[in-house]
Amino acid sequence: MAKLQENELQELKSRFFDICSSVNRPGMDELLKWLEKTDFFVAPASTKFHGNYKGGLLEHSLHVYDKAAELCAKYPDIEISSDSIVIAALFHDLTKANYYVQDFKNVKVYKDGGTRHDEHGAFDWETQPYYKVDDRLPLGHGEKSVIILQSFIKLSRDEIYAIRWHMGGFDSAVKGGDYAMSKAYEICPFAVILHMADIESSYLLETIEK
Ligand SMILES: [Fe+2]
Ligand SMILES: [Fe+2]
């Protein structure tokens, strides 16, 4: 059974649009119209980690919004507008729209409580669907979200920092030895908040469908 039922997906989607309707930024309508044409509202959030099921990306984006709003309330000295919280949180993973494709694989399903460790365990082959990556716009993770967003709406400097560096230490550039993220986090504490919200949502709120 799917992790998220159709009615739950619809509720999440209407909440997403409700939150977006509070944002006053030229180009938002065009952005949302484009988004409707992508797989954003049904895509998973990953292939085998958190939210690896239909609607996982939408669910994750809303979790990140809730967590980012909570953290901003906890640190009131960080000056950031409510529009920026919405834009950075809901669209930080825009990079994952039109990014996953579904394929099928044959898996062994063990019978009589057996496992793959049983040398002589009986099993049947079963064809199961799974998601895999097909990056049709390979520009880098956070970078791609910023680039796509900028083609519809003008982002503030804080929004750019936050979205670009939302992966924190998991970002490929950081792993390659780039120090720009630390500098960005010093200049823009909201970028730290978005990263924390992303981590908390992914690892503490969301599940993995086996
Ligand atoms: Fe991400
Ligand atoms: Fe994320």
On whether residue 210 sits in a domain, the answer given is: no
Considering the domain architecture, whether residues 54 and 149 belong to the same structural domain is answered as yes
The tens digit of pLDDT for each residue in 94-148 reads: 999 999 999 999 988 888 777 777 777 788 899 988 999 999 999 999 999 999 9
Distance from the alpha carbon of residue 61 to the mean position of ligand 2, in angstroms: 7
The domain boundary residue, chosen from 133, 155, 177: 133
The values of phi and psi at residue 66, to 5°, are -60, -45
Residue 142 CA to ligand 1 centre (angstroms): 7
Write down the H helix ranges in 6-47. 6-20, 28-37
Range of the domain at 180: 6-98+138-205
Which residues, chain by chain, have CB under 5 Å from ion ligand 1?
Answer: 93
Quickly count: other Cβ atoms within 10 Å of residue 143's Cβ.
15
Whole-structure pTM value:
0.92
Domains of the chain: total: 2
